[in-house]
Structure 1
């Protein structure tokens, strides 16, 4: 083998090893919660570093009460959203995601390691609901994107899916609404990861299970997630 090629290969190997060592160091330093596996803990730290340093998510933290059963409900404006939510909390989050996304090769292992709950949007959601109920009963945080998919102001307005109401009723969970903004290229799957954002969170006060079952809830929640209102006012009459 040519000597120049050997030198290039050695340099590349050294760079790769140093990159891995640096990634492990950053992951361990910024890790802020225990996911039950060293790899996931390092990944947690890397995500926090990426969100805080690159997307300027510095002082935004979501305080989740530890003495209550909570269902985290967020708007969904880009593929970056789950990373931002993980970086904003100090507890592992189990995301409910579409089964077709969960089953994608390679990503499936990551979703499984992260405790994600696949949801069959074709109508068979009972299994996902049972998994979510078991997780909540164990004190874990379950997160849901009630808009169903990536949805921003430019997207035709749709009311949120009713599954969040049913899950809240079955588990006796309060809802903690979260609104993400400041993501570059909202509505995208890839550009949002590359373009630098200036992320902010709006965290609404907890909504009780009783409020969530009010006829006006879905419309009020839909408006708030889109940034069309400042508060979610649930009442007996549907405001839609």
Structure 2
């Protein structure tokens, strides 16, 4: 219930404030596990992905936030769970796999931290780990534009990335994470190319 309320409230504020444009919603599978991977340009990325996705999303959040009892309950209510940053947090990895095993949607920012320049950074292996260790469909997401009031912010959902070949070839988690980031970069490049053609 809290998740739906929060999504409604944030939508009312964010859609007009950032003139959010969503492309490719139909690419998000409506059934089965989904690993939704996005670039990371702002602390506001999680709520933006949350309100533009057609699925409820479970996100990892830094463990320190859960130390505050009130904030911890709030974050849990909106489907966030703790992860110890900078460490191989087995509990967080296990929780992520459980979410996918239950046919839900796990949201990740493969870069791990926000890009200060807005350009794609080298990813951590986490996204590849979840992609290879689960049967989830991997959906790339690109967030484009400045987080400035009344300036257009675009969110693009690409078609699911087929993981069968990577799994069969026993590709490393790091390489799979890079392949996912490459697809996100492709979405960004395609958007900019189309914008130039429209001018």
Smaller-chain TM-score range? 0.7 to 0.9
Q: Which has the larger radius of gyration?
A: 1
**What is the count of residue pairs matched by the alignment?**
184
> RCO higher in 1 or 2 (8 Å CA, sep ≥ 6)?
2
Tell me the CA shift for residue 224 of structure 1. Answer: 4.6
The structure where strand makes up a greater share of residues is 2
The structure where helix makes up a greater share of residues is 2
TM-score (norm. length: structure 1): 0.66
Cα separation, partners in 2 of 1:121 and 1:225, compared to 1, 3 Å: same
Distance 1:226 1:173 in 2: 21
Could you tell me which of 97, 118, 126 is aligned with 2:82? Answer: 118
Tell me the CA shift for residue 200 of structure 1. Answer: 0.7
| 1:76 aligns to 2:40 (yes or no) | yes
Structure 2: state its 5+ residue gaps.
192-199
| 1:210 aligns to 2:164 (yes or no) | yes
Pairwise mapping of residues 130-145 of structure 1 onto structure 2 (< 5 A)? 130-145=94-109
Q: In the alignment, which residue of structure 2 is the partner of 1:235?
A: none
Cα separation, partners in 2 of 1:168 and 1:221, compared to 1, 3 Å: closer
Find the residue that maps to 2:53 and give its secondary structure. Answer: coil
Moved over 4 A (4+): 58-61, 211-216, 226-231
RMSD over aligned Cα, in angstroms? 2.8
Tell me the CA shift for residue 145 of structure 1. Answer: 0.7
Q: Is contact 2:137–2:160 with CA below 8 Å preserved after alignment?
A: yes
Cα separation, partners in 2 of 1:173 and 1:59, compared to 1, 3 Å: closer
